[in-house]
Structure 1
Amino acid sequence: MTTNKTVRLAQRPKGPVKPEDFDIREEDLADPGEGEIRVRNAFVSLDPAMRGWMNEGKSYVPPVGIGDVMRGFAAGQVEASRHPGFKEGDTVTGLLGVQNYAISDGKGVSLADTSLAPLQTWVGGLGMPGLTAYFGLLKVAEAKEGDTVVVSAASGAVGQVVGQIANIIGCRSVGIAGGPEKCDFIKSEFGFDAAVDYKAGNLFGDLKTACPDGIDVDFENVGGDIFDTVLAQMNPFGRIAVCGLISMYNATELPPGPKNLRNVLVMRLRMQGFIVFDFIKHNQEAMTALGGWYKDGKLKFKEDIRDGGVEAFPAVLSELYTGGNFGKLILKL
């Protein structure tokens, strides 16, 4: 009999995630009920938000419960269906969890067009990270032609798309990344106008050189010292879209706040946090644009696909918070 291998949360992590924070189980495979589908997951998306989903406390979604399957976006194939909207063999993506098989009522599950892009891309550039980049840059930061746009974690899943959309709409794109390899890559492959290596030891000066006319839009993925440095170089009436703060996700104590917060006042900046689900009614608009740009060759995606199945999840996830990935981190099941 076929079984389902799952990753369940065993305890609330303290600091960086560890293998003992998870319980990997072999379980009976369930059949779909009326109005449900069973999906054989092929790829699981590893996202910075996963660390926050494991914490107790006020947030935009309830935390993953102790003993629950770890929340995560996945892409796979419908193996059995009792749902009118899906048939066996359909390729789909959605919040299906870190497990080999998922039972779903179809809510939040979308068809993945593998004639347009490979299945794994539907948990990357054409999935939640691509939507996040689109909404954050265009709906939250309201980037416009002629703006200088800075994005941190620029070689990551969201950052790489932000820079390319900025170019498409006529902005100057400046990416902040760690190390010369990543910086060279985002310029040569993604077309960033400039790249700043935060590990080189001269972040303020290098960013000033890359943005001689100041910064109009900051797409913030990191926080900490990087955010402080960008904040000091924002132009009057600049816009900051706060997408992530990965530098502090593993902190056991709250780090110091921004030193340059005064610039929000004197530069009359607008800073707004956002979650991709805030714009769900605009998903079709975003997917039409992203899919069109991808088809026309205006969007490229770098994916860092790891083997090892669900057993590898704890180790691979931890690399996301130390810069060990290069591109969109995906676990192949």
Structure 2
Amino acid sequence: MKNRLIKLVSVPAGKPKVTDFSMEQEQLAPIVDGEILLKTLYISVDPYLRAKMSGGHQPPLQAGDIMYSRAAAEIIESQHTGFQKGDYVLGFLEWKDYLITDGAGLTKIDKNAPSLSAYLGVLGSTGLSAYFALRDIGKPKAGETMVVSGAAGAVDTIAGQIGTLMGCRVIGIVGSEEKASFVKDDLGFDYAINYRTANVAEEISTICPDGVNVYFDNVGGIISDGVITNMNDYGRVVVCGSIASYNDTKVDFGPRLLPLIVFKKLLVQGFLIADYKYEFAEGITKLQGWLAEGKLHHAETVIEGLESLPEAFVGLFEGKNEGKMVVKAI
């Protein structure tokens, strides 16, 4: 059985290009006892993969490696006592049409779920990152002001909505007027700043005269400099990502923020979802409840075809997604 797969052929220098990837073929052998054959359905496309290519996330992705990320798949053949044909599963899977595995690391998901892709987004690491990072670090309270960078992105769309649910005034930072309208009109943010046309520090100073209490950051760089300058005493900064620096080819220097952290007594803490794997069930239950009540909007950009994965990945760094970027492999 011939099978398509996608490899990283060269570690990007700066912003990734479609030519950094290649589509190849392999021959799949029949499965043996203890194995299952998966058909890939949906594949998550995430900015952190770029950091893995630079060695910032471990283990690194190197030239010649088969790409992998979170994915949802269907079992089409099983010789494993723990899995049956027709089961749907979730796990870190290689970018292939079909995969043979012993089932390690796979989680069964509801085959009757209205949206399997939601398990890669709002009910997956995307939504869980927003939920746990705010629960334990951001700790938004009613009446506070919360700023979200990359506000039209996967994690940030959820984080901003959770802030609203907690009674915060939420300001989103985006890269276009279309995305500004999206986060305000579709997601319920109170205000949006287009960083391409506005000075972030000055704009926040104007619209947040009483300062910022919580900053949920997935961008870093000059945008974060502008927000942190406007933080209140004892403000909380959640550092969930830093996409602004993922493609840097040299060290970028900006304002020295440590004095501000001292003088304003700020809490600045990094977050990785892997630390919360034993609490996923709690987070999913909470997010499912908000979805069922219509309090949470699940935003995603779905691109068709396994062969579209490199294009979708590059699109993350060109602002081509609203919400979660997902590729439908079938």
- Structure-2-length-normalised TM-score: 0.93
Q: Residue 37 of structure 1 corresponds to which residue in structure 2?
A: 36
Farther off after superposition, 47-56 or 16-25: 16-25
Asked if residue 3 in structure 1 is aligned to residue 2 in structure 2, the reply is yes
Asked if residue 12 in structure 1 is aligned to residue 11 in structure 2, the reply is yes
Deviation sequence 1:7-43 (CA, Å, 0-9, x none): 1122222112123322311111244444433221111
Q: Is the Cα–Cα contact under 8 Å of residues 14 and 248 in structure 2 kept in the other structure?
A: yes
Q: Say if 1:172 and 1:31 are closer, same or farther in 2 by CA, change over 3 A.
A: farther
- What are the ranges of 5 or more consecutive residues in structure 1 without an aligned counterpart? none
What SS does the corresponding residue of 1:95 show, helix, strand or coil? strand
CA RMSD of aligned residues (A): 1.8
Q: Residue 62 of structure 1 corresponds to which residue in structure 2?
A: 59
Q: Say if 1:31 and 1:173 are closer, same or farther in 2 by CA, change over 3 A.
A: farther
Q: Is the Cα–Cα contact under 8 Å of residues 150 and 218 in structure 2 kept in the other structure?
A: yes
Deviation, 1:60, is 4.6
Asked if residue 95 in structure 1 is aligned to residue 92 in structure 2, the reply is yes
**How many Å separate the matches in 2 of 1:257 and 1:31?**
55
Q: Residue 167 of structure 2 corresponds to which residue in structure 1?
A: 170
Q: Is the Cα–Cα contact under 8 Å of residues 200 and 227 in structure 2 kept in the other structure?
A: no
**How many Å separate the matches in 2 of 1:141 and 1:327?**
21
Deviation sequence 1:255-306 (CA, Å, 0-9, x none): 1144443211100111111111011111111011011111111111121111
Deviation, 1:113, is 2.6
**How many Å separate the matches in 2 of 1:300 and 1:228?**
29
**How many Å separate the matches in 1 of 2:157 and 2:116?**
19
**How many Å separate the matches in 2 of 1:103 and 1:135?**
33
What SS does the corresponding residue of 1:107 show, helix, strand or coil? coil
| Residue pairs, 1:77-226, within 5 angstroms | 77-226=74-223
- Structure-1-length-normalised TM-score: 0.93
Q: Say if 1:182 and 1:20 are closer, same or farther in 2 by CA, change over 3 A.
A: closer
Deviation, 1:138, is 1.1
**How many Å separate the matches in 1 of 2:96 and 2:102?**
16
**How many Å separate the matches in 2 of 1:235 and 1:37?**
54
Deviation sequence 1:142-172 (CA, Å, 0-9, x none): 2233332111111111110001111222222
Q: Is the Cα–Cα contact under 8 Å of residues 8 and 25 in structure 1 kept in the other structure?
A: yes
Q: Residue 28 of structure 1 corresponds to which residue in structure 2?
A: 27
Query: 238, 262, 270: which one pairs with 1:241?
Result: 238
Q: Residue 313 of structure 1 corresponds to which residue in structure 2?
A: 309
Tell me which amino acid in the other structure corresponds to 1:37. Answer: I
Deviation, 1:64, is 2.2
Farther off after superposition, 123-132 or 200-209: 200-209
Tell me which amino acid in the other structure corresponds to 1:323. Answer: G
Deviation, 1:108, is 3.2
Farther off after superposition, 255-264 or 269-278: 255-264
**How many Å separate the matches in 1 of 2:189 and 2:29?**
47
**How many Å separate the matches in 2 of 1:52 and 1:94?**
20
**How many Å separate the matches in 2 of 1:49 and 1:30?**
32
Instruction: Count how many residue pairs are aligned between Structure 1 and Structure 2.
Output: 329
**How many Å separate the matches in 2 of 1:14 and 1:33?**
41
Q: Is the Cα–Cα contact under 8 Å of residues 48 and 57 in structure 2 kept in the other structure?
A: no
Q: Is the Cα–Cα contact under 8 Å of residues 45 and 329 in structure 1 kept in the other structure?
A: yes
Q: Is the Cα–Cα contact under 8 Å of residues 11 and 62 in structure 2 kept in the other structure?
A: no
What is the aligned-residue identity percentage?
A: 40
Q: Is the Cα–Cα contact under 8 Å of residues 231 and 261 in structure 1 kept in the other structure?
A: no
Tell me which amino acid in the other structure corresponds to 1:86. Answer: F
Q: Is the Cα–Cα contact under 8 Å of residues 87 and 111 in structure 2 kept in the other structure?
A: no
Deviation, 1:82, is 3.0
